[in-house]
Amino acid sequence: MRLISFSIMTILACLYFGCCSLISEGGLGLKNFPILNRAFLLKKFWDILTSSSMASTFFRRRFLNKFGQPCTYYKRSSIWPGFRPLFQDILDGSQWIIGSDTTLDFWHHNWLGSSVIERLNIPVSVANTLQLKLSNFINNGCWVCPINLQSLCAPFWEDIIKITLPFKDGFVDRLVWKSAKDGFGGIFRDHLGQVLCCFSGNLGIATALEAELQAVIHAIQMASQRGWRSLWIESDSTLVIHFLSSFQVDVPWRFTTEWFNCRTILTSMTVKVSHIYREGNRVADCLANFGADNAGVHWWDSYPPCAITAYSRDLADFPNYRFSF
């Protein structure tokens, strides 16, 4: 006698996007290929918009107008239809940094967090007729508003003058990706360790590197304003020390202009740079925490209440410890 066994295979149909859910949510944990493809296209499109290569320059001149916007008429292409729907995402997530010889357009380019056209809700039919170079608002590295546009710019002029402009020539316009902001702080001491002044500021949400870099930039600017020409900078960030030691390294984009100006300031100073561990930098740490919890930039001619304990221990050479559990 011969035994024959049968097995029945059942095929279950399910949505692909359901398979891409987490295993804990009932899915298979597969990669979502449409999302991966979109991410790849966004990265490639960003490279095209920011690169100086011949191919990228050709692409921009063919498919974008002089304001950096997509052409409204049809152009035959096998790749442009895939990029064009992503343009608004790129536009919403990017911003221009103003160069020393800026060629940006005042109305159309996003150099203020959003374009002036968007801020004033100007209709597209009117916006297409507007042309004005941003350089008309800059004179000798300072913001100047033309008389005929003062009433128009009044609602956001305070935001404009907060934008730092380059001191020297050689800094070009750059399209950069926006990021968020956190708190920073620092203390000035004399050669005996006595406090000269302290500062702290709020950045919103940012990385530790950005907070450390902002503190150094603020310290250099303030030292220059007060006429202090001999400066010893201590930071618990090795990357910031590297930035100070080698000006060839690119800093985070939103500090590019301020860092460029600080490089100019440092050429007229006697500067020493050294690393300090966080345990030895507790006063600055307390000031940074204060800045994270309070809006604006704060200055004190003596140590503030938030740093009294840390400053007293520091002055008395008491050790500080950091434990992790």
Q: Among residues 158, 178, 198, which one ends one of the domains?
A: 178
> Other CB atoms closer than 10 Å to residue 60's CB: what's the count?
15
- Please check whether residue 236 lies inside any domain of the structure: yes
Lowest mean pLDDT among 38-42, 184-188, 287-291: 287-291
- Please check whether residue 134 lies inside any domain of the structure: yes
Residues 311 and 200 in one domain: yes
Residues 240 and 273 in one domain: yes
Q: If residue 163 lies in a helix (H) or strand (E), which one and from where to where? A: none
Query: CA-to-CA distance for 26 and 16, rounded, in angstroms?
Result: 13
Token pair for 22: 């987490």
Residues 191 and 292 in one domain: yes
Residues 194 and 217 in one domain: yes
> Other CB atoms closer than 10 Å to residue 184's CB: what's the count?
28
- Please check whether residue 323 lies inside any domain of the structure: no
Structural domain tally of the chain?
A: 3
Q: How confident is the model at residue 3 (pLDDT cuts 50, 70, 90)?
A: low
Residues 192 and 270 in one domain: yes
Residues 155 and 74 in one domain: no
Residues 190 and 310 in one domain: yes
Residues 104 and 89 in one domain: no
The half-sphere exposure of 252 on its side-chain side, counting CA atoms within 13 A, is: 18
Residues 298 and 203 in one domain: yes
The half-sphere exposure of 41 on its side-chain side, counting CA atoms within 13 A, is: 16
pLDDT for 325 beyond 50:
no
Percent share of the chain, pLDDT over 70:
88
- Is the Cβ–Cβ distance between 109 and 94 less than 8 Å? no
- How does pLDDT run across 110-133, given as a tens digit for each residue? 888 888 888 888 888 888 888 888
- Please check whether residue 235 lies inside any domain of the structure: yes
- Please check whether residue 125 lies inside any domain of the structure: yes
Tokens 């991410």 locate to: 39
- How does pLDDT run across 197-247, given as a tens digit for each residue? 899 888 765 677 888 888 889 899 999 988 898 889 888 888 888 888 876
pLDDT (0 to 100) of residue 100 = 82
Query: CA-to-CA distance for 314 and 285, rounded, in angstroms?
Result: 12
- Is the Cβ–Cβ distance between 297 and 258 less than 8 Å? no
The number of angstroms, rounded, from the C-alpha of 300 to the middle of its chain's C-alpha atoms is 27
- Please check whether residue 5 lies inside any domain of the structure: no
Which domain does 87 fall in, by range?
19-93
Q: How does DSSP assign 175-223, residue by residue?
A: EEE----EEEEEEEE-TTS-EEEEEEEEESS--HHHHHHHHHHHHHHHH
Residues 136 and 229 in one domain: no
- Please check whether residue 14 lies inside any domain of the structure: no
- Please check whether residue 11 lies inside any domain of the structure: no
pTM above 0.75, yes or no: no
pLDDT for 175 beyond 70:
yes
Strands 142-143 and 138-139: antiparallel
Torsion angle in degrees (nearest 10) through CA of 98, 99, 105, 106: 50
The number of angstroms, rounded, from the C-alpha of 202 to the middle of its chain's C-alpha atoms is 14
pLDDT for 5 beyond 60:
no
Residues 118 and 228 in one domain: no
- Is the Cβ–Cβ distance between 95 and 174 less than 8 Å? no
**Residue 244 is part of a domain; what is its CATH number?**
3.30.420.10
Token pair for 9: 């295979």
**Cα–Cα–Cα angle for 93, 95, 98, rounded to 5 degrees:** 170
Q: Among residues 140, 157, 178, which one ends one of the domains?
A: 178
Q: Among residues 39, 60, 93, which one ends one of the domains?
A: 93
Query: CA-to-CA distance for 244 and 71, rounded, in angstroms?
Result: 43
Residue 59 CB partners (closer than 8 Å, separation 6+): 48
Beta bridge partners of 130: none
Backbone angles phi, psi at 17, to 5 degrees: -65, -25
Residues 260 and 186 in one domain: yes
- How does pLDDT run across 49-88, given as a tens digit for each residue? 888 889 999 999 999 988 888 888 888 888 888 888 888 8
With the C-alpha atoms ordered 92, 93, 98, 101, is the resulting torsion angle positive or negative? Answer: negative
